[in-house]
Structure 1
Amino acid sequence: MKKVGVVLLILIVGVITLGFVNKWYYPALPLDALTSKEALQKLKTSNQKIVEIGTNSNVTWYMTKNPEKGMLAADETIKQFISRNGWEFNEKNGSGLFFEKNGERLIVSTEMWTSRYVLIKVPSNATF
């Protein structure tokens, strides 16, 4: 009976360890082609503040680290990133950041993925 308990305990510890190594405790990403672990690795190995993590249907997803200063600092990082491509920031409404360029309007939305990371949703038809 003790052997069964020890084997069960080892199995449980193994599954928990595997979960932490593979970042299973993070919420799901809006992309099927990328795991949470892969997305975090992409951000950590990049020298950029914002990295592209993938595209699905008509949306390109980016990720940035949420500084300790909160969403306002993350919004500033996003504004700088989008503005480098000629877009002019107009306003923020909820989680949407509104930009304009040559009469076109671009709506970039943000989503807190965890308390440390922000997902950024950009329409794929935006000209960069």
Structure 2
Amino acid sequence: MRKLLRWFSITFLALFIIVGSIGFAFKDTLFQEGNPIPVISGIVQLKFGDKPYVQIDSESESYITPHTPVEGDYYYIVKTFMGEKGWAFLEQDGTDLIFSKGNDQTTVETRMYTSDYYIFSISQSNATT
């Protein structure tokens, strides 16, 4: 029984050191969006689910999606998402995408999270004059 308890203790300690080392090495990437749990949860949902995007923050209306081109366009998923909400794509300004609906305009900010995923956030719509 003592050997088993010792083995579990050593295994737990080794696992803790390995996970801690990995977390420390990638802390800048993990914490770039603040709390990494919603982002990591979103990545897991994307990996094992069939959704093209996952909401990671309802307050700022932020989503995570794979950074892979669909039909040759890296922002196809964002354009489709906004199109489903009735917004028409106008133009791209750097990494920002500008959409319109009637007299309203909104900007979707995109930013890389890792080389495999990017986050997009929808700003509040502004009426144009």
TM above 0.5, one fold? yes
Q: Point out 4+ residue stretches in structure 1 off by more than 6 angstroms.
A: none
Percent identity of equivalent pairs: 22
Give yes or no for contact 1:64–1:74 (8 Å, CA) kept in 2.
no
Answering whether residue 105 of structure 2 is matched by residue 105 of structure 1, we say yes
Deviation track 1:2-25 (CA, whole Å, cap 9, x = no partner) reads xxxxxxxx95664124565x7x73
Q: Which runs of 5+ in 1 are unaligned?
A: 1-9
Q: Give the whole-Å Cα distance in 1 for the aligned partners of 2:39 and 2:87.
A: 30
Secondary structure of the structure 2 residue equivalent to 1:73: coil
Structure ranking higher in helix proportion: 2
Are residues 53 and 19 of structure 1, via their aligned partners in 2, closer, same or farther at CA, if it must alter by over 3 Å?
Answer: farther
Q: CA deviation at 1:63?
A: 0.5
Give yes or no for contact 1:31–1:55 (8 Å, CA) kept in 2.
no
Q: Matches of residues 48-59 of structure 1 in structure 2 within 5 Å?
A: 48-56=51-59, 59=60
Secondary structure of the structure 1 residue equivalent to 2:47: helix
Q: Which runs of 5+ in 2 are unaligned?
A: 1-11
Secondary structure of the structure 2 residue equivalent to 1:74: coil
Q: Matches of residues 13-24 of structure 1 in structure 2 within 5 Å?
A: 14-17=16-19
Q: CA deviation at 1:95?
A: 1.0
TM-score, normalised relative to structure 2: 0.69
Deviation track 1:21-71 (CA, whole Å, cap 9, x = no partner) reads x7x734325253834432212322432211111134xx211000111x49x
Deviation track 1:69-114 (CA, whole Å, cap 9, x = no partner) reads 49x6321221111111110000001111000002100100100100
Q: Give the whole-Å Cα distance in 1 for the aligned partners of 2:19 and 2:36.
A: 24
Secondary structure of the structure 2 residue equivalent to 1:30: coil
Q: Matches of residues 1-128 of structure 1 in structure 2 within 5 Å?
A: 11=13, 14-17=16-19, 25=26, 26-32=29-35, 34-56=37-59, 59-67=60-68, 69=69, 73-123=73-123, 125=124
Q: What is the alpha-carbon root mean square deviation over aligned residues?
A: 3.2
TM-score, normalised relative to structure 1: 0.69
